[in-house]
């Protein structure tokens, strides 16, 4: 049975050795990262790319050039493997396998709940606002929504789940939430990568 593999990492080493890690990527990918204005965005993008490379290496895959759909979704040219990348405040996550998936990672923190008014359905807002810890519930719901959006390109499908999506939430750290989703229950446990 095909499985979705999950890899996560702290990006802390990249902050202090950015140039060293940047050299591990193709010149095209380096240019894309260096074109970003914000240093945090550069580090997060670099961390995501390094995680993708590491995932491919661990699975014995010769990683091809990453291409992008007109909506910005990354993919491999021959679609032999699927992946999803997420990053949040110094951490990165990559799901990788022969099954299409979406993933999200969110560092635990206090959030502005007004965002829920704009991006959450009425049912999702109800779950968040009736929770004892609204920030935690917000972040868990955001993870579900982001992972589903990366899988199907629609963000109104979490509570109603009209697409038959299987979600898996992981609690591997007190620092962040991880959610991955696919159209079948085929998830391996997350593996921590050290840069």
Sorted by sequence, the CB contacts under 8 Å of residue 143 that are 6+ apart come out as: 104, 105, 106, 169, 177, 178, 179
pLDDT of residue 156: 60
Identify the segments of the chain with pLDDT beneath 50.
none
| Cβ-contact 102, 147 below 8 angstroms | yes
Q: What pLDDT was estimated at residue 66?
A: 82
* pLDDT tens per residue, range 74-93: 888 777 789 999 999 999 99
CATH class of the domain at 1-99:
alpha beta
Domain chopping of the chain, boundaries: 1-99
């Amino acid at each position: 049975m095909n499985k979705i593999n999950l890899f996560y990492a702290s990006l802390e080493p990249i902050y202090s050795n950015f140039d060293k890690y940047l050299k591990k990527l193709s010149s095209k990918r380096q240019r894309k990262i260096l074109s970003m204005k914000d240093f945090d965005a550069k580090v997060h993008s670099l961390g995501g790319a390094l995680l993708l490379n590491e995932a491919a290496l661990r699975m014995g895959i010769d990683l091809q050039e990453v291409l992008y759909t007109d909506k910005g979704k990354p993919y491999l040219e021959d679609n032999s493997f699927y992946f999803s990348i997420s990053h949040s405040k110094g951490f990165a996550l990559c799901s990788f396998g022969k099954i299409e998936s979406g993933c999200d990672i969110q560092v635990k923190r206090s959030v502005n709940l007004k965002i829920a008014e704009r991006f959450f359905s009425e049912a999702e807002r109800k779950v968040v606002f009736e929770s004892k810890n609204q920030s935690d519930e917000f972040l868990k719901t955001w993870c579900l929504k982001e992972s589903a959006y990366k899988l199907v390109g629609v963000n109104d499908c979490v509570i109603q789940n009209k697409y038959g999506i299987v979600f898996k939430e992981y609690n591997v750290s007190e620092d962040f939430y991880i959610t991955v989703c696919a159209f079948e229950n085929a998830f391996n446990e997350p593996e921590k990568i050290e840069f």
